[in-house]
């Protein structure tokens, strides 16, 4: 659906987003909501399952920190949790991961309600802790990120390298997509929904969407285009500086992984590997086609790079491999559930 609605924030965007989430929770009759836990100190940001809208004051989706790809935990949670309807807040890279996981493992999303939020970028953990301490609290840092939503976030040159090269920071593909990039967040945000059924449940057919020719929509479009352009240039600079270490074929990646001994940290944190882990055969060998099947679905979240004890620039390495694997078919990971994996 390409209609968008305005969410007036009256000077308190975070408070308004929490109220909006509460409304969605009630109107969609969710049993629980899975969120990043931002209420447990500066250096922890774990996932948390809320079971009542009264707990939404603990939610802050604008914290510039990502310590795990939420999508990675969803198959396990859906297995053990009997909730008929579970909501989940996702960053765009997590939403892309979820779409790819469905294709790898026939993961069923019928009990899951996804809320995707434009991403203002995330910092490395030490940088986040330092900035949060300087600001007085993680909440104050998130407020600053929101204040700079119009410019696309704070200190982009300090972001994790995956975020500096993120090819798609805008919310899409969710049952509800909430937009903040390029917008005056203290005045309003925008949102859209994934289907007529959701629009109806949220009573949106009674509310006027923002007019197609409105400047409000073009502000968001322009901000996203500028950001993506900046990130393509960042990715080109990184690729240029790492040219000698980037892979030419899947075999290069396979050999790199085989040379890492027993370490599989990058695979263990990867959401795609959570449902389709490349097997290790006798002698520690990986099959090239399994590594290719993994990396053609790479969502660019960069959790592998955060986990690598050798500090390898895995966002650039795996991102480059993804492009080599998907360019011939024009496949874009996470773009659509209907687009099949480009497997030979
Ligand atoms: S990779 Fe993109 S969507 Fe994911 S945290 Fe970074 S900027 Fe956000
Ligand atoms: S390979 Fe790395 S960047 Fe790609 S989806 Fe897995 S963890 Fe994220
Ligand atoms: S995390 Fe780093 S060292 Fe470990 S297997 Fe991956 S690339 Fe190798």
Per-residue model confidence as pLDDT tens digits over 40-74: 444 455 678 899 999 999 899 999 999 899 999 99
CA distance 266 to 72: 13
What is the rounded average pLDDT for all residues in the chain? Answer: 92
Q: Would the CB of 312 count as within 6 Å of ligand 3?
A: yes
Statement to judge: residues 127 and 258 lie in one domain: no
The torsion angles phi and psi of 178, rounded to 5 degrees, stand at -110, 130
- The ligand placed nearest to the CA atom of residue 169 is 1
Is residue 122 within 8 Å of 64, Cβ to Cβ? yes
Nearest CA owner, ligand 2 atom 4: 298
CA distance 247 to 251: 8
CA distance 186 to 202: 23
pTM of the complete model: 0.95
- Of 174, 206, 236, the residue that ends a domain is 236
Ligand 2: nearest atom to the Cα of 314: 2
Statement to judge: residues 229 and 275 lie in one domain: no
- Kind plus residue range of the DSSP H or E element containing 228: helix 215-241
Statement to judge: residues 228 and 250 lie in one domain: no
CA distance 212 to 190: 13
Query: Domain for residue 342, yes or no?
Result: no
176-179 and 188-193: which strand pairing? Answer: antiparallel
Q: Which residues contact 326 (CB under 8 A, 6 or more apart)?
A: 296, 332, 333, 342
Statement to judge: residues 62 and 162 lie in one domain: yes
Q: Please work out, in degrees rounded to the nearest 5, the angle formed at the alpha carbon of residue 132 by the alpha carbons of 74 and 44.
A: 35
CA of 141 to the centre of ligand 1 (A): 17
Query: Domain for residue 343, yes or no?
Result: no
User: CB burial class (10 A; 0-12, 13-18, 19+) of residue 70?
Assistant: buried
Total domains in the chain come to 2
Statement to judge: residues 104 and 201 lie in one domain: yes
Q: Would the CB of 265 count as within 6 Å of ligand 3?
A: yes
Query: Domain for residue 340, yes or no?
Result: no
Looking at beta carbons, which pairs linking 50-54 to residues 24 or more positions away fall under 8 Å? 53/21, 53/22, 53/25, 53/26
Query: Domain for residue 82, yes or no?
Result: yes
Domain that holds residue 69: 5-236
Q: Spell out a b/e string for 95-122, using b for 16 or more CB atoms within 10 Å of the CB, else e.
A: bbbbbbbebbeebebeebbbbbbbbbbb
* Residue spans of the chain under pLDDT 70: 1, 37-46, 344
Is residue 197 within 8 Å of 121, Cβ to Cβ? no
């Amino acid at each position: 659906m390409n209609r968008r609605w305005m969410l007036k924030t009256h000077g308190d965007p975070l408070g308004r987003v929490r109220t909006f989430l509460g409304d969605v929770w009630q109107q969609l009759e969710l049993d629980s909501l899975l969120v990043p836990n931002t209420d447990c100190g500066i250096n922890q940001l774990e996932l948390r399952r809320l079971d009542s809208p009264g707990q939404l004051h603990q939610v802050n989706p604008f914290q510039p920190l990502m310590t795990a790809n939420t999508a990675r935990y969803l198959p396990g949670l859906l297995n053990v949790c009997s909730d008929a309807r579970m909501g989940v807040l996702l960053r765009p890279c997590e939403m892309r991961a979820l779409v790819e996981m469905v294709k790898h493992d026939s993961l069923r999303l019928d009990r899951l309600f996804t809320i995707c939020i434009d991403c203002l970028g995330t910092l490395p953990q030490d940088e986040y802790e330092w900035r949060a301490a300087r600001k007085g609290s993680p909440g104050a840092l998130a407020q600053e990120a929101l204040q700079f939503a119009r410019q696309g976030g704070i200190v982009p040159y300090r972001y994790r390298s995956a975020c500096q090269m993120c090819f798609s920071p805008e919310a899409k593909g969710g049952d509800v997509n909430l937009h903040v990039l390029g917008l005056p967040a203290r005045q309003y945000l925008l949102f859209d929904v994934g289907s007529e059924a959701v629009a109806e449940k949220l009573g949106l057919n009674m509310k006027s969407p923002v007019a197609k020719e409105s400047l409000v929509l073009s502000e968001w479009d322009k901000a996203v285009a500028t950001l993506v352009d900046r990130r393509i240039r960042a990715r080109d600079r990184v690729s240029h500086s790492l040219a000698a270490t980037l892979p030419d074929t899947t075999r290069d990646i396979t050999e790199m992984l085989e040379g890492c001994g027993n370490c599989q940290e990058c695979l263990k944190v990867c959401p795609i590997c959570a449902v389709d882990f490349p097997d290790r055969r006798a002698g520690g060998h990986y099959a090239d086609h399994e590594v290719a099947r993994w990396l053609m679905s790479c969502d660019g979240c960069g959790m592998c790079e955060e986990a690598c004890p050798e500090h390898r620039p895995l966002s650039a390495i795996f991102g480059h491999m993804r492009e080599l694997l998907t360019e011939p078919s024009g496949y874009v990971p996470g773009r659509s559930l209907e687009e099949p994996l480009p497997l030979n």
